[in-house]
Amino acid sequence: MSRLVRAIALITVIAVVAACSGPSPSGGGATGSPGAAAKPQYGGSIVFALEDDPIDFDPLRSRAFIDRNVHYQIYDSLVRIDETGKIIPWLAEKWDIPADGKTVTFTLRTDVKYHDGSAFDAASVKWNIDRYRTAQGSARSGELAPVESVEVVDSKTVKFNLKTPFSPLLSLLVDRAGMMVSQKAAEAGGQDFTRKAFKAGTGPFMLTEAVKDDHITLEKNPAYWGKDKNGNGLPFLDKITIKPIRSSDVRFTNLRTGDAQVANNIAGKDIPTIKGESGLNYQEKPAYSFRSLIPNRAKGFVFEEAKYVKAVSTAIDRKELLEKGYFNLGVAGYSTIAPNHFAFDASFKPFEKADPEAAKKLVSDVGKGPLTFTLLVSSGDPVILQIAQLIQAQLKKADITANIQQLEFAQILDQQSKKTFKDLSFVGWSGRVDPDGNTYDHIYSGRPFNDSSYSNKQVDSLLDQARQTPDEAKRRDLYRQAEKIYVQDDPARIWLGYGAAQLATSKKVVAPPVYPDQIVRFQFMSMAK
Amino acid sequence: MIRFLRRNPRIVVGGSLVLFLVLMALLAPWLAPYDPTLVDVSRALEPPSAEHLIGTDDLGRDVLSRVVWGSRISLAVGIIAVAIGFTIGVSLGLASGYIGGAFDLIAMRGIDALLAFPALILAISITAALGPQIQNAMIAIGVVAVPLYTRLTRGQVLSVREREFVTAARTIGARPLRIVLRHIFPNVTNALVVQATLSIAFAILAEAALSFLGLGAQPPTPSWGGDVNYSQRWLSNLMWWMSFGPGFAIFLAVFAFNFLGDALRDALDPRLRRAA
Amino acid sequence: MGQYILRRLALMIPVAFLVTIIVFTLVRLTPGDPVLVYAGEERDPETLEQLRHEYGLDQPMPLQYVSWLTHAVQGDLGRSIRTRQPVTEAIFERLPATMELGLAALLISVTIALVVGTLSAVKRNSPLDLLATGFTLAGVSLPNFFLGLILILVFALALRLLPPGGYTPLKDDVLDNLEHLILPAITLATASLAVNMRQVRSSMLEVLSQEYMRTARAKGLRERTLILRHAFKNALIPVVTIVGLQVGAIIEGAVITEQVYFWPGVGKLVVDSIAGRDYPVVQGVVLVSAFSFMLSTLIVDVLYGVLDPRISYGSRGG
């Protein structure tokens, strides 16, 4: 059951990350494999033990984070990020944004063909973006809402006209909203085109077989356009078999026994063990994802009172949570803006030390007697349950009583979206490349993930400005101003920390670096010599 | 009574095991060496020692104390769930068997429908529908057990109903309810006692399974099934004690009631002995 | 006989109808919104509305029921909200894994039950009998998930002999498939083994005490021939009943075991789908498993009649 909950609980899973440093290589949009000084070996096949079964291969419909593990192998996006999280050219060789920020013009690569042989060009981009914006059942229409229209300038130039300036747009085109699909393949396959093997992408691998809950086979695209930094044609591997394995223990065992060469999302408790295994490599990076408690701040609920939210935040010992609950996986934190976001403020540590006495004072200032509330957690997930009980014990030191209530994830979501949940709910966010993706929909009045019913006009205005200003330095200041309000002065949530991006590999393969978005870049992976 | 027990030593053994569990539940506050919900992460994940006989869990709580306290939930669920199933099931069975006709036909189709359901899936769905709380788990387990009692009671009523003493009572004008209570009920008690004992075993097992799936008692309340689920992730690190303590307790409790039920069946209901 | 079967089938119709109503009500009463679950981190209000519409979730409840039922009658159980896969396809894709596990467990359980049960009846009250009886009781009392965990700890984690969970289809790699099968099959077999062994033992005891056995014995037939030729055959009848019912209940029996071993069968599908409120899948699986249970009950009853001529169908049923 615990894995089952995790399987659906996309929100509580996973991570996106960046450690901003290093230049991105030009051409091919590729970074090299570390330690592969000479020409990497071509050929070979590997098994990837993935934490869940990908659901939808169509970027249009895909709603699950897990799907991207396949998308990134078979599709290319207009732009991508490098392993530091910086946006780099990909299918678009360059882009131009004028000072008013109302258009984005992309210059496209001309050497790219889809797996089915049709050409990738400006018309193809327009068709794809229009499809994402308008098709029935599109999960991308919200992300692309700021786009007014797409114009084909010439075969290699395409211009996006925006309704209002929208600085996070590029960060969205990194992912599914910017993934390019062959019109021919999509139209031939109809609505279900991605449910069987298909040739709709331009990516380094092609999907050749997919059996639900069993395996997905990806084979090398011999005509792939990408090259590594030494000019070697990509990809190196012939075949990848993705096996969905929902138990972290079983993934780890598969890696140990050589039944898999790559695994993701290893439980924190097992990391010391994995580091000690001689045949394995382990990489980890801080992620964009955050861990948080959502108070119901709507009228009539306990946490309508801001001081109570602050009291709980003050009483929680984040360092102990990280050590004893997360087993040092990730970092402690206080806000939506993660260590590798450009707007991160390392000196912003409002609740660094737990202070039960200060929390008691906040509660008594309200003058309504002791604070008692219900803490909602997903049922059957021992990891979350342990942390919840740890929090319960920490709060007890400040005479705050948290009654844990396990509810099925589906029920918690329902109550949260109806704003009827009592009183504090344990929910995370998988994280986005731009701070806007971590903040706007969670904090801004009336937005879809603003489950705490938070509303602060000043914060709204700051977040709107940050969307419209193309200047990064200005945006940074705006986010930092906003953060002080929604974390400290008038808290929207209680943030506990940030997650980690992980990649565990067998020494039989040369692994690429771990990426901020936690997706393995298999085109850079090769067999060890 | 004493002679009855002397002739049936297995009842004494089973009974003592059950008594042991009941005492453990009643005396939990005095028997448990520690507060079962006391978190002390500095002592987390300690293997069994003189201080903590079955070690501590990942929050540093004493596993033995949790096992001792957990008996309360398991026994309460076992007894209450069976009481629910028993009351509804027996009433329905008596009514159905005695009234007969259309009522019987409809009631039995309902029972067939309940039986057609996979029991565990039914219990899971009911608990999920009502909300994952221990009271609801009791109701769900009770409902799942209803058909058992209905069928048993109805069958017995049908076989007793036409016997002379009942027909006689009817001819002298006794009221139906009175007939049922005075004449039919005593004839099914033995079978019901056996069945009830055995279903407590089933109920404890079912509660453990529901809690294992996160649908039972809410943390930090100690619950055997819940604790096995909670601690199973540590098995891969070869830390077995956290799940083995409560797991063994479930086994022991279920075994005790099964053993007692078996012994009672042999002693009280010789007709059933062969069928088993 | 034909008439009997028809009568039974006719009686199944109202029961099946009740089952569909119970399934539908229970599943829909459960709080939680599938669209929210599967929207994941894409919670655009317009998209949510579109999805609700696509799955007919914006219709009044009775209408949804009628529409589901009319489709179900035609063999169309709808599509999964999570994966958009047709439910029948999802069930048939998982069924081989569940059947393999269930049948392997039954094979283990029935074989051991027949051998040990017979021996323990023949040598009643011998140490073997007492051991077998004790084991039987322990087997029924051991929670499936706990036994699973013990086996995983010992054979997978400590000794590293077998995988701790997962599944490889038979057609991909037979050996690998069997390796993954051993622990779950033993786990699942234990509970039914206890029941089956009890059944074999007691029906064997009953047959051995019968008149004709005494006659045969008096005729000087060798004990071994006697047991194998006569007693065994007759004792098998109630065993067939109980095993038949277990076949019908395979999906249910495997629910917990599939969870513990991450076995991608129908049982795991239904539990996962309950958690995610994937209504069409839950309704479909429960319906299929209820039907397979009812059908197997019918088949068992018919078989019973074939095997045991003493039973006449006129007086039974209803």
What ipTM does this complex have? Answer: 0.85
pLDDT at C256: 86
For residue A247, the chain C residue with the least C-alpha distance is C262
Q: Which C residues 138-167 touch B at CB under 8 Å?
A: 138, 140-146, 149-150, 152-153, 157-158, 164
Q: Report which of residues C48 and A111 the model is more confident about.
A: A111
User: Phi and psi at residue A506, in whole multiples of 5°?
Assistant: -80, 155
* A-interface mutation test, from C28, C29, C30, C37, most A Cβ less than 10 A away: C37
For residue A280, the SS3 value is strand
Mean pLDDT across the stretch C226-252? 78
Q: Which among C19, C251, C252 has the least Cβ separation from residue B113? A: C19
Answer whether B118 sits within 8 Å of C137, measured CB to CB: no
pLDDT at A19: 32
Answer whether B39 sits within 8 Å of A388, measured CB to CB: no
Q: Which C residues 61-90 touch B at CB under 8 Å?
A: none
Contact criterion met (CB below 8 Å) for A260 and A251:
yes
Mean pLDDT across the stretch A223-250? 92
Give exposure, A262-294, as e/b (b: 16+ Cβ within 10 Å).
bbbbbbbbbbebbeeeeebbbebbbbbbbbbbb
**A-C interface: how many C-beta pairs under 8 angstroms?**
128
User: Phi and psi at residue A45, in whole multiples of 5°?
Assistant: -135, 150
Answer whether C33 sits within 8 Å of A63, measured CB to CB: no
For residue A1, the chain B residue with the least C-alpha distance is B213
Sign, CA torsion A222/A227/A232/A235: negative
pLDDT at A406: 83
- Contacting chains of B (3 CB pairs or more, <8 Å) are A, C
**Would you call C286 an interface residue with chain B, using a CB distance cutoff of 8 Å?**
yes
**Cα distances (Å, whole numbers) of residue A280 to A83, A300, A516, B152:** 21, 53, 21, 60
**Would you call A270 an interface residue with chain B, using a CB distance cutoff of 8 Å?**
yes
CA B195 to chain centre: 10
B228 contact residues in C (CB cutoff 8 A)? 143, 145-146, 149
Following CA atoms A507, A508, A512, A515 in sequence, which dihedral angle do they give, to the nearest 10 degrees? -60
pLDDT at B272: 45
**Would you call C124 an interface residue with chain B, using a CB distance cutoff of 8 Å?**
no
Query: Which of A197-201, A301-305, A513-517: highest mean pLDDT?
Result: A301-305
Distance CA A316, CA A494 (A): 9
pLDDT at A480: 96
Answer whether B233 sits within 8 Å of A380, measured CB to CB: no
Q: Please say if the pLDDT value at position C309 is more than 90.
A: no
pLDDT at A301: 95
Answer whether C36 sits within 8 Å of A414, measured CB to CB: yes
Mean pLDDT across the stretch C286-303? 84
Distance CA A528, CA A237 (A): 11
Q: Which among B209, B258, B262 has the least Cβ separation from residue C143? A: B209
* DSSP state at residue C156: I
Question: At a CB cut-off of 8 Å and minimum separation 6, what does C145 contact?
Answer: B208, B209, B212, B228, B229, C256, C257, C259, C260
Mean pLDDT across the stretch A114-137? 94
Q: Which among B229, B230, B236 has the least Cβ separation from residue A249? A: B236
Q: Which H or E run contains A39?
A: none
Under the banding of pLDDT at 50, 70 and 90, the label for residue C169 is confident
Q: Please say if the pLDDT value at position A487 is more than 80.
A: yes
What are the structure tokens assigned to C39, written together?
């929207």
pLDDT at A224: 96
Distance CA A182, CA A114 (A): 6
**Would you call A196 an interface residue with chain C, using a CB distance cutoff of 8 Å?**
no
Contact criterion met (CB below 8 Å) for A430 and C41:
yes
Under the banding of pLDDT at 50, 70 and 90, the label for residue C133 is confident
Q: How far is B275 from chain C (nearest CA, A)?
A: 7
| DSSP-H helix ranges across A367-408 | 382-396
Answer whether A249 sits within 8 Å of B214, measured CB to CB: no
| DSSP-H helix ranges across A224-380 | 248-257, 271-276, 306-315, 318-320, 356-366
Q: What is the crossing angle of helices C144-151 and C250-261, to 10°?
A: 40
**Cα distances (Å, whole numbers) of residue B253 to A100, A317, B222, C106:** 74, 39, 16, 26
Residues of chain B with pLDDT under 50: 272-276
What percentage of residues in chain A have a pLDDT greater than 90?
71
Task: Encode pLDDT of A4-37 as tens digits.
Answer: 334 333 333 333 323 333 333 333 444 444 444 5
Cis peptide before A370 (omega within 30 of 0): no
For residue B38, the chain A residue with the least C-alpha distance is A393
Kindly report whether the global pTM for this prediction surpasses the value 0.80. yes
